[in-house]
Amino acid sequence: MSTQPTRFQETVIAPSILSANFARLGEEVDNVLAAGADWVHFDVMDNHYVPNLTIGPLVCEALRKHGVTAPIDVHLMVEPVDGLIPMFADAGASHISFHPEASKHVHRSVQLIKSKGCQAGLVFNPASSLDVLDTMLDEIDYVLLMSVNPGFGGQSFIPSALKQLRKVRAMIDASGRPIRLEIDGGVKPDNIGEIAKAGADTFVAGSAIFGKPDYAAVIAQMKQAVSAGRG
């Protein structure tokens, strides 16, 4: 067994609700969680940091009021970020991540997330430098690596993300801290094994899950492929 002590054994599948049917969102989230999903991935786009516009804290709050108790993983694709952090924390987010280039003061934004009792993550686009992790890895709870350019669901996985995963995996293992490594974009049953092998333990998938009629079957297939990939 080559398992490192700080690595999470528990695989997390986090369906991105961007690909869900918004006309019946509560039911979609109930169904995907009943089908074996672990977290709800909640993509927030502002038509400024990314060229698309999605959902805000009201929708997060509505899911909590609907009875969703699973972790809600808020992925902020907005600029600036600080104003929305307390709003999402108060709306029931458990995890909040942001793109470092969208914050003037990255350390302050991370502290703000933690001060609101949420897990804090930093997100990196496929072509982004990981340099900020030199100083920030000790401060955060997870790293979210994008394997597509942010803004839309249903894009194809960018293979260079595997190299980024291996780099960040090595940094996390060297840190000795229990930091989750999440991957987002183009994750499918047929590539998730390779992605797990490169070091991810937390997997966002939108179109691969919500695009299929049987959520439980896809999620089971993904978890099986992760176990095989991890070896």
Catalytic residue numbers read: 43, 184
Minimum distance from CB of 173 to ligand 5SP (Å)? 25
Is 28 a binder of Co ion (CB under 5 A)? Answer: no
Q: Specify the residue, 13 or 176, whose C-beta has the smaller distance to ligand 5SP.
A: 13
User: Alpha-carbon distance 44 to 53, whole Å?
Assistant: 8
Contact 22, 58 (CB under 8 A): no
User: Alpha-carbon distance 32 to 18, whole Å?
Assistant: 13
165-197 in b/e form (b: 16+ CB < 10 A) is beebbebbbeeeeebbbbbbbbbbbebbbebbb
151 assigned binding-site residue: yes
Q: Specify the residue, 92 or 186, whose C-beta has the smaller distance to Co ion.
A: 186
43 assigned binding-site residue: yes
Choose, by CB under 5 A, the member of 38, 43, 141, 182 that binds Co ion. Answer: 43
Amino acid identity of residue 58, one-letter, is L
Binding site for ligand 5SP (CB under 6 A): 16, 18-19, 41, 43, 75, 77, 148, 150-155, 184-187, 204-208
Is 75 a binder of Co ion (CB under 5 A)? Answer: yes
Candidates 72-80, 93-101, 131-139, 167-175; binding stretch for Co ion (CB under 5 A): 72-80
Q: Using CB distances below 5 to 8 A depending on partner kind, what does residue 155 bind out of ligand 5SP, Co ion, none?
A: ligand 5SP
Contact 154, 148 (CB under 8 A): no
Nearest to 22 by CA among 46, 51, 53: 53
Paired strand residues for 45: 77
Amino acid identity of residue 89, one-letter, is A
Q: Which residues bind Co ion (CB under 5 A)?
A: 43, 75, 184
> Which positions make up the binding site for substrate?
16, 75, 151-154, 184-186, 206-207
